[in-house]
Amino acid sequence: MRAIISILFCIYFCFQSYSQNYKSKLSSIADFNKLSYKPLSNKYGFVKSLKILYDLKNKKLYYTNSKTYKYHYEFVINYLELDISIDNFNKYNYQEKHKNKRFLLANINHYENINMYTLELSPADNMSIKDIVFLYDKVKSSTYFKNFKFFLNTSRLVLEKSKLPIPYITADEIYGNQVYQPISLNKAYGKLRFINIDSLDNISIENTDIVIVNKPVLTLPIVNGVLTTRMQTPLSHISVLGINRKIPVATYKKAYTNSYLKDLNNQYVSFQVKLDTFFIKPISKKKFDRKTRKRKKKLKDLAINKNIDTLIPGKFLHHKMIDIVGGKAANFGELYKLSIKNNFKVPECSFAIPFHFYLQHIKKHKIDDLIEKTIKNYSITQNDSSLFINLKKIQKRIKKASIDNSLIERINNYVTKNCGYKRIRFRSSTNAEDIKGFSGAGLYTSKTGILNNPKKTFAKAIKKVWASLWKKQAFLERDLFNINQKTVAMGILAHRSFPNEIANGVAITKNLYRKDFYGNVINIQLGEEPVVNPKKDIISEQLLCYEGADIELYNDKKAIEIIAYSSLSNNKLILTNDEILNLSKQLSIIKKYFYKKIYRTGKSFLNFGLDVEFKIDGNNRDLYIKQARYFND
């Protein structure tokens, strides 16, 4: 009988919470939880969201059931039964003026980590300061909220903050108080291990391990999952590699001291990362063996064209040259073409060194025999120790062997005749990098050489880049993706270097926080401080910009959403609004071009992304796009 009563009570409770379309006030957290749901855009962890509308005509405030009504518009047409098109609803209700405007629209978000409630607008909403204050006061007077502030989530609102007589909160306060950050949304199985990063070189890590680390990870070991205790830059090489591998990666600040997790140390577990939380659960040895059993897959052969033995100027490079110069240089050629008619530059003095010269180098000095022997031995023994010894030997021999003088003469002549620069950056461009299915982010080396400089010679720089093809991390990453090591080759993309850049950054040309939606995710850092490989505790600026989106809601709104400020910029944006908007517009142009002409995928346009690296440089603060590759998520 008790069981029947419990079931009936549960059915009644669920019916009540889902059948209630709205409340006019919130008297307790129970009221909030009944109506709230996960936010549409998951930029922060542990957040619950509730949509609100204030009807200007009827002077009524609605706390809507956000489990039932995902969008404000759904509540208006389905519950209030107003006859209005989505286009007109967006056009009138997100504008500043009251002409034809019926509703004030917002979200109430509860950040559980800091027990803070915030009033938040859509980035596309141009609501006036007067209306913001009015709406804030209406909510404040009809809720139980004690910690309640208005969130300055866009650059427009930050500029207007001096006019606000109400409490507000900024992105740095929200971001800095995060406890959880999802990075790669996946599920895996393995043995849970606590790893002290300071002792990493002396610890043997298995590829089936799921590791909890106490400091930032600068290189991502081959493991089945990573839980860090320090916030990661979302577009760092570590994050991109984790996404590419399709393994779960997340940050949980309390992971290293959590008693539940410590009890699972050295136990077999499942690890799943979701947008708003993560799960680590014990599993049996039998399930571990079944889920982590290595299945033999056919090796993937990569194409190599050895025959092109001339330097190729940047303007003649194109995407079909991956087998000649590698993915980075091939994609650079497409950026070069786009830069001619658009508002960005590519680095000057650009040219590519084809695979031919690398292959000639290793053959002439019989290094190819050692490479073949190393690959064969590892395929039989899978012995990491002997592999690492041999890889070091390969790298050492590549760097010590004399380079073809005619190649250096050609480069010297090219730079002297075509460039106004002496400092040249030589960047890795392999056929196992920047390609669909394999990112290769951060695996290889780039080096700078200076024309006629006896210490920083072009020859030294080139050989160091060639040698990086056989770095331990690069070899293991290719092995993980079943790439035939015998078919990899190193080309080089060269162009002038940037010794005094104003800012650098990385962007993903898709919305990582909301599926099937517009937006470019942009990470920026001051000067030469790298976004892709940040130093300890340095946070990059993180933005979501909608400029260039083919949708009327965002077209003229100049919407720049602030997720986090750089820890080096004193809570100010590194670029001007106009610079950010132009960057986003150029990113959208590049995305459209690569989607239509280069990567014909089965993905929808909104869910297709490029990983783009850029710089701001020079007295005119010019935008340079230096790299674009397929975002393998």
Query: What pLDDT digit, counting tens, does each position of 22-42 carry?
Result: 999 999 999 999 999 999 998
Secondary structure (3-state) at 492: strand
Secondary structure (3-state) at 193: strand
Task: Inform me whether the pLDDT recorded for 404 exceeds 60.
Answer: yes
Instruction: For the chain, give the mean pLDDT.
Output: 92
Buried b (16+ CB within 10 A) or exposed e, 23-60: beebeeeebbebbbbebbbbbbbebbbbbbbbeeeeee
List, in sequence order, every residue forming a beta bridge with 109; answer none if it has no partner.
49, 118
Residue with tokens 């194409």: 303
Cβ-contact 298, 343 below 8 angstroms: no
Select the more confidently predicted residue: 632 or 356. Answer: 356
Secondary structure letter of residue 596 according to DSSP: I
Task: Inform me whether the pLDDT recorded for 16 exceeds 70.
Answer: no
Q: Which residues contact 207 (CB under 8 A, 6 or more apart)?
A: 222, 223, 224, 480
The torsion angles phi and psi of 323, rounded to 5 degrees, stand at -75, -5
Residue with tokens 């910029």: 569
Cβ-contact 623, 583 below 8 angstroms: yes
Q: Which domains does the chain have, with CATH numbers?
A: 2-176 (no CATH), 180-292 (3.50.30.10), 312-496 (3.30.1490.20), 503-630 (3.30.470.20)
What was the pLDDT predicted at 232?
Answer: 77
Task: Inform me whether the pLDDT recorded for 274 exceeds 50.
Answer: yes
Select the more confidently predicted residue: 46 or 233. Answer: 46
Average pLDDT over residues 374-389: 94
Position 18 confidence tier, pLDDT thresholds 50, 70, 90: very low
What was the pLDDT predicted at 19?
Answer: 60
* Best CA proximity match to 305, nearest among 487, 84, 483, 544: 487
Supply the DSSP string of 363-432, one letter for each residue.
HHTTHHHHHHHHHHHHHHH--HHHHHHHHHHHHHHHHHSPPPHHHHHHHHHHHHHH-S-SEEEEEEEESS
pTM recorded for the entire structure: 0.91
Amino acid at 626: K
CA Rg value for the chain:
27
In tens, the pLDDT along 405-443 reads: 999 999 999 999 999 999 999 999 999 988 888 888 889
* Best CA proximity match to 559, nearest among 121, 168, 174, 166: 121
What was the pLDDT predicted at 7?
Answer: 41
